[in-house]
Amino acid sequence: MQLKKIALAALAAVSFAPAFAAVNTSDAPELVFMAWNSKGSYSKDLGVQLSNLNGVNTFDFAGAKWNDFLALNGTNTQWTVASVQVNNPDGFDLGDIHYVAAFSTHDFTVINQRSNEGTLQMREQFRAMALATPGQANHELSGPAGSLGDLSLGWANFADGVPSNNEIGTTAKFADIYTSNDDGGANAIMDTFGAAKTANFTGTTLTITTPVAAIPEPSTYALLMGGLLAVGFVARRRQA
């Protein structure tokens, strides 16, 4: 009887589990690495948020999907790493949509409408990635030009409106593009995070560098403790 209960519980767990773990594009937007060239493209969900990274973080893409991409023998390989955040399920309200990506240059202008449309396109691409690889924790997708995974058509750079394409070996700085107001024709805002958050792809490994959270020195804790003790001593004398 106990064995039967365990079997039923396991079956229930499987029944209620999602068919796939989609790339998060809402409350905890996940970074997705993308590379493309003249013959096709490759993309992988890194499964992490930019805001949760600290210090130097490396990601290796060695494996079957990356080998499939290399086997296409394409030229002029470009790359970026990006996340999209669409808080509104309908995805059309200005101010609710963010596109965070690594850019080699910040010398360009995007209007609100183009920012929203491009972010929504990227969300659909990320959804397609998850559907194409059910059951994988970190979805990978590769394919020749014209296939589901074809980023060279403009998925990664809003049909060339946002130049997020970076050369291999180039250090790119992260920026967040979002709408400035309710005027669809107004310029979008670009928050560059200063120069602190960067990404570099060598051809096999992606390195993302973010500021290291400051850790107080032991002397700082000692001063704090001393101050608390002094305050406590004074308060005790006043009560006496």
pLDDT for residue 4: 38
DSSP letters, 184-220, are TTSBPEEE--TT--EEEE-SSEEEEEEPPPP---HHH
Report yes or no: 98 and 184 within 8 Å, Cβ to Cβ: no
pLDDT for residue 132: 63
User: Tens-of-pLDDT digits for all 240 residues of the chain?
Assistant: 433 333 333 333 332 333 346 788 888 899 999 999 999 999 999 989 999 999 999 999 989 999 999 999 999 999 999 999 998 777 767 777 899 999 998 889 999 988 888 898 888 888 877 766 655 667 888 889 877 667 777 778 887 788 899 999 999 999 999 999 889 899 999 998 876 899 999 998 999 999 876 555 555 545 656 555 655 545 555 566
Report how far residue 81's alpha carbon sits from residue 170's, in angstroms, rounded to the nearest whole number: 13
User: First and final CA of the chain: distance in angstroms?
Assistant: 69
pLDDT for residue 125: 83
Report how far residue 138's alpha carbon sits from residue 125's, in angstroms, rounded to the nearest whole number: 15
pLDDT for residue 226: 55
pLDDT for residue 81: 96
pLDDT for residue 11: 32
pLDDT for residue 52: 92
pLDDT for residue 160: 75
Report how far residue 19's alpha carbon sits from residue 130's, in angstroms, rounded to the nearest whole number: 10
Rounded to two decimals, the pTM is: 0.78
pLDDT for residue 138: 74
